[in-house]
Chain A
Amino acid sequence: MPNGTEGFLLVAAAVAYLIASVGYGANLLLRRLNLARTGQYAAILAVVCHTFAIGVHCAVTRQTPFTTPAETLSASAWTVALVYLILEFLIKPKPYALGALALPASFLCLFAGAVLHQTQRSNAPITVAPELDSRLISLHVIAILFAFSLLMLAFGCALLYLVQHRMLKRKRSGGLFGKLPPLTTLETQAFSMVAFAFPLLTVGLVSGVIRAAAGGLSGAWAADPKILASTVTWLVYGVYLGLHSIAHWRGPRANYILIGGLLAALATYFMPTTAHRFG
């Protein structure tokens, strides 16, 4: 975790993310609207603190806020929470159940970013990769971050869908039954999120490819595991959209694809690479 004002703001954001997670989670279990409201206010506070923290970071370092893997994780936390809050503002009824997944994801990303930051600081000083100077790379990272956030939320919808579907098929009452959004709502929301995320993902990948080609990287980048994995991820979501729109795939099968898609996206992040560098 960085020191000074940025560090303070990030700690405040982390605490607020945690409170928001507890608020949304408790609302999911207890169905108390005031708990969801607590989560909502905490999430807004967290995003505000996090935004200022990113702003301070950019002002101090005069760099983009995603020059290292740790910063990218922190930026992911911010985009996931921000996109969730935008959706909460736009969608009725409010998708509070999704908040119970989105805000913990934000907290975990920020926490993982802080841990990674500590590790990097002790190992070596940060040097900025020349590739990251490019505006094309900024477009690449921002597009992928927002696409990832939407895909993360689509994953949340798919997860809730599968839980709800299972309870309905097993004819169970009690537990989470009656507390999750209806199946048709979850399915529609998941599809809409992927429909918005997919063009962003495409822009992110294409801008990365153009930058790689323009940057004089040899053809070896095309066979890089991380780049191959990102292509697979893109294909998974492309197949999902195709099957949903053309073959009218609905229900658990379609939602399992979304689960697989996010796993592919996470695998992409952790995939070893030689051609793709943060710094």
Chain B
Amino acid sequence: MTANAGASDAAGLGRARAVAFVTPAFLLIAAFLVFPAVWTIWLGMTDFRLTGAQAADPQFVGLDNYRAALTDPAFHNSLWLTIVFVFGSAIVGQSVLGFLIAWTMRSVPKTVKAIVETLVLMAWILPSSIVAFLWVAFLNNNGGTLGTILNSPDTAWLLEYPMASIIIYNTWRGTAFSMLLFSAALGAVPPSQLETARLSGASTLQQFRDVVFPHIRGHILTNTLLISLWTFNDFVPYLLTAGGPDHATETLPVFIYLRALYGGELGYGSAISFIMLLINLVIALFYIRLLRERRTANRSGDADADDAKADADEVLTAAEARNVGQ
């Protein structure tokens, strides 16, 4: 340890100054990340309410809230809806559509590519409240755009097909990220290999399976995990359906909002939040482990793969910045 100290202190700061440098970061993390998380655990073990006597003097109830959640059919319903929503809109919708766009855009004229990419990006960068307003107008049953186009102006899309509506909405909303990530990844597939495959008479499907897929496997996993996390925590469906009709789109974030703020059950809401945090942690740990494995794999990979990773990392950084901004 002592022998290594000099070698690991590459900046030559010394321990005291190094600590001084990281202290502000630790303070921020403690105040805005660790403390709220711990506070949530504590609140989840009380009968804390937004109003009433329990707001002034909450009582410790131990694990009652967690027990109540695990036997609450409304929570089960919500968890199931969240899984359906994540699977439908993120894993299937955004990934597949994003990949298809990225794949198609490789072989079209530059102007078409620019137009398509701009349109897809627009859906991604517009503020949520505005987008929600547009979609409510689009799906409205009193002369909404979709109803008018399909000549069925009385169809209440958000009420008759609530889950399908928010899945399609979220696919539209978030495809840009997958598209960007995959076009960066596809750019790094060596053309020589594709050419060889084509010359040997490989079909498009075979080209994808044997040439493209091995190169972008890591990106597919990264992409899936990231968009799963974001979609899992996404609150925007509330702006479209408010969790309705009759709890049909009450995904976990909406469920927590309705219970904690609308219903005032802050304690119960905190308990569910903590369960959600645990689910997020599991996904995140899985992701970190995966990245570590990729890093080891990359060390033995070729230069092209590293380029692709650099490109993809740029996209990731941009995405993180956007996600923080939300």
Q: Do A and B come from one complex?
A: no
